[in-house]
Amino acid sequence: MAKTLRNSKLTLAAETVCADYRLAYSSRRASIIGRAEVLRGNATFGIFGDGKEVAQLAMAKAFRPGDWRAGYYRDQTFMW
């Protein structure tokens, strides 16, 4: 049985929290690696979405089928 955090409006499984953390961490690492490639001169241009991982995870979880959005070039975590 999964451990959960409960209050009157929120229930989170520990597995969900861990999966979200792994996704946010992977997204941040990808941004750091991409920025390093630009700074080393191995890439000519790069704008990354680091610093917005948790907000983008929350936004992605709030979306439902049929919702639409305009893409933004820093929405890396949301798109993952």
Structure tokens at 13: 């499984």
Q: Is residue 37 over pLDDT 70?
A: yes
Beta bridge partners of 12: 5
Task: Determine what percent of the chain is predicted with pLDDT higher than 90.
Answer: 54
Say if residue 7's pLDDT is above 80: no
pTM: 0.76
Beta bridge partners of 4: 13
CA within 13 Å, CB half, 66: 0
> Are residues 80 and 19 in contact, defined by beta-carbon separation less than 8 angstroms?
no
Of 1 and 67, the structure prediction assigns the larger pLDDT to: 67
- Domains of the chain by residue range: 27-62+75-80
Q: What is residue 31's three-state secondary structure?
A: helix
